[in-house]
């Protein structure tokens, strides 16, 4: 069916379409007059996204700020806030509300929960997609009730938002308060262990003492090495002959005696070639040689004795330094052991100190947050009683009724045409029967004054109409 045919059908059955449209309009008018009026009040809440935290001073990252407004809108429309509104306004004590609850649920469930869900059905919360505003709209039977409920939702939301922040902080404050006492006891025990160890072993400034004693041990090690070197040299000299000792060879007295002895021996050798042994000069020279030899032996023995004494002294020095070095080494090792133990005790004390400071800081922050009575949310515009009702909307209802009635009329006209089709143009005959149209007859009312030609509907040809009603039959 083409659009011109549909228009012809609607034009032919305009009374049906107009009647349906008027009926829809009448129904909408009656509904507008009969339906009870409802009123909607709106409050605006401002969420300060850039406000720093009141305690820490930190600001939330940009990604968290973008979701904060929508989160606040979800919080306003939550069941917890709605239940707070019910309790704040005492709706659960209203006999009418109790009767409605028993009728709807048969007395099952909780009255406050049911009333909260009823309020949420009339609540509309919209978050500004690009701004910081949240609009809270409430519908009620009276303008005063709508404004009161909208403001009640805003107040309950503010209290809930504050409770969601302060309640965990209060629980944290109690937890950290107990933790502070425990941390303080651990710190005191660590300090006590360190003090007792220092007093028991008599070490206070172990670091300075260890450095001094360690330096003394190094000095004793150097002295011991030097004395051991001297003692080894003395032992090596002692194993040599008397005449080859460096001390003997380098002694000026010994050198002088050797020179005199050599000269006397040379002169005695010359006398032996000229004089006999009984000659007085021979005997005198021999006595001088013997005297010088005796003096040289005495001086050599004296120098060797001094070397032996020096060797003995060196050995005694080595033994003394070895004992002092061993004692100093033991002392340094003992100090090192004390230092290591004190370092462990001090590490325990420092760890306990850090734990105490951390717990004390968290306790102070939590205690401050638990007493905080401000949020980053404030009421921008409280709800006021509206002047005009929100529903019903007369103009919209009448337009909707007229449109729906017209649509129903059009559908009825098309349905009646489908059940009883009419031949309204030569085109229909051509398309339906497949026969050429020779001519059209004017309407029987064409000759009347003011009558409009209606040759489109051929009601005076029953056989043709029958053919149209039976489109399956085609002439042979």
Q: Could you tell me which residues come within 8 angstroms of residue 97 by beta carbon, excluding any fewer than 6 positions away?
A: 91, 111, 115
Looking at per-residue pLDDT, the higher value among 15 and 436 belongs to 15
Average pLDDT value for residue range 116-125: 92
Query: Two tokens at 394?
Result: 């007369």
- pLDDT over 70 at 114, yes or no: yes
Residue 345 preceded by cis peptide, ω within 30: no
Average pLDDT value for residue range 340-344: 85
pLDDT value at position 64? 53
Looking at per-residue pLDDT, the higher value among 135 and 54 belongs to 135
Using the structure block, give the residue that is written with the tokens 């990604």: 63
Least confident span in 204-208, 258-262, 272-276 = 204-208
CA dihedral (177, 182, 185, 191) in degrees, to 10, reads: -100
Tell me what the pLDDT averaged over the chain comes to.
76
SS3 390: coil
| CA pair distance 48, 357, nearest whole angstrom | 33
CA distances from 440 to 39, 434, 463, 466 (A): 63, 16, 15, 17
The predicted-structure confidence for 392-405, as pLDDT tens digits, reads as follows 777 887 888 888 98
pLDDT value at position 460? 34
Average pLDDT value for residue range 137-146: 90
Residue 351: pLDDT band with limits 50, 70, 90: very high
Q: Which helix (DSSP H) or strand (DSSP E) does residue 109 occupy?
A: none
Output helix, strand, coil percentages for the chain, rounded to the nearest 5. Answer: 70, 5, 25
Looking at per-residue pLDDT, the higher value among 74 and 128 belongs to 74
- pLDDT over 50 at 475, yes or no: no
The predicted-structure confidence for 292-304, as pLDDT tens digits, reads as follows 888 777 777 666 6
| CA pair distance 71, 63, nearest whole angstrom | 13
The predicted-structure confidence for 70-110, as pLDDT tens digits, reads as follows 888 889 999 999 999 999 999 889 898 899 899 888 888 89
Q: How many CB atoms lie within 10 A of CB 401?
A: 22
pLDDT value at position 430? 65
| CA pair distance 21, 405, nearest whole angstrom | 4
CA distances from 291 to 32, 138, 273, 298, 398 (A): 163, 143, 21, 11, 164
| CA pair distance 34, 253, nearest whole angstrom | 152
pLDDT value at position 472? 45
The predicted-structure confidence for 231-262, as pLDDT tens digits, reads as follows 776 665 555 444 445 555 556 766 787 777 78
Residue 354: pLDDT band with limits 50, 70, 90: very high
Count the residues in the chain.
476
Average pLDDT value for residue range 292-321: 72
Average pLDDT value for residue range 118-123: 92
Average pLDDT value for residue range 50-67: 53
* pLDDT above 90: percentage of residues in the chain: 12
Q: How many CB atoms lie within 10 A of CB 347?
A: 11
Least confident span in 3-12, 63-72, 82-91, 410-419 = 63-72
The predicted-structure confidence for 419-454, as pLDDT tens digits, reads as follows 776 766 666 666 666 666 666 666 555 444 444 444
């Amino acid at each position: 069916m083409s659009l011109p045919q549909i228009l012809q059908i609607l034009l032919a059955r305009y009374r049906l379409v107009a009647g349906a449209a008027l009926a829809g309009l009448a129904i909408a008018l009656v509904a507008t007059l009969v339906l009870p009026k409802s009123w909607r009040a709106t409050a605006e809440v401002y969420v300060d996204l850039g406000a720093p935290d009141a305690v820490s001073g930190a600001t939330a990252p940009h990604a968290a700020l973008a979701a904060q407004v929508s989160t606040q809108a979800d919080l306003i429309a939550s069941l917890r806030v709605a239940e707070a509104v019910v309790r704040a306004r005492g709706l659960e004590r209203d006999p009418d509300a109790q009767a409605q609850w028993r009728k709807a649920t048969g007395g099952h469930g909780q009255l406050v929960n049911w009333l909260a869900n009823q309020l949420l059905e009339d609540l509309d919360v919209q978050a500004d997609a690009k701004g910081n505003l949240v609009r809270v709209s409430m519908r009620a039977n009276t303008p005063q009730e709508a404004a009161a409920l909208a403001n009640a939702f805003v107040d309950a939301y503010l209290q809930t938002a504050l409770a969601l922040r302060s309640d965990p902080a209060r629980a944290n404050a109690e937890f950290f308060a107990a933790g502070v006492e425990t941390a303080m006891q651990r710190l005191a025990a660590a300090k006590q262990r360190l003090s007792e160890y220092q007093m028991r072993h008599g070490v206070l400034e172990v670091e300075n003492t260890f450095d001094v004693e360690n330096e003394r041990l190094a000095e004793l090690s150097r002295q011991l090495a030097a004395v051991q070197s001297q003692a080894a040299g003395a032992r090596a000299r002692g194993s040599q002959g008397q005449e080859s000792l460096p001390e003997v060879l380098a002694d000026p007295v010994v050198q002088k005696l050797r020179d005199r002895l050599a000269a006397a021996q040379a002169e005695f050798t010359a006398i032996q070639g000229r004089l006999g042994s009984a000659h007085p000069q021979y005997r005198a020279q021999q006595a001088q040689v013997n005297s010088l030899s005796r003096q040289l032996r005495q001086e050599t023995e004296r120098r060797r004795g001094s070397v032996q004494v020096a060797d003995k002294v060196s050995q005694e020095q080595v033994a003394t330094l070895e004992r002092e070095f061993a004692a100093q080494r033991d002392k340094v090792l003992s100090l090192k052991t004390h230092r290591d133990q004190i370092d462990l005790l001090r590490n325990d004390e420092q760890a306990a100190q850090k734990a105490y400071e951390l717990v004390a800081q968290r306790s102070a922050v939590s205690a401050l947050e638990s007493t905080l009575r401000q949020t980053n949310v404030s009421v921008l515009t409280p709800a006021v009683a509206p002047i005009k009702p929100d529903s019903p909307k007369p103009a919209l209802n009448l337009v909707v009724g007229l449109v729906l009635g017209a649509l129903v009329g059009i559908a009825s006209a098309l349905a009646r045409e489908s059940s009883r089709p009419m031949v309204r143009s030569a085109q229909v005959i051509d398309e339906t029967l497949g026969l050429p149209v020779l001519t059209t007859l004017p309407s029987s009312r064409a000759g009347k004054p003011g009558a409009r030609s209606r040759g489109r509907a051929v009601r005076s040809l029953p056989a043709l109409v029958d053919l149209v009603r039976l489109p399956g039959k085609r002439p042979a």
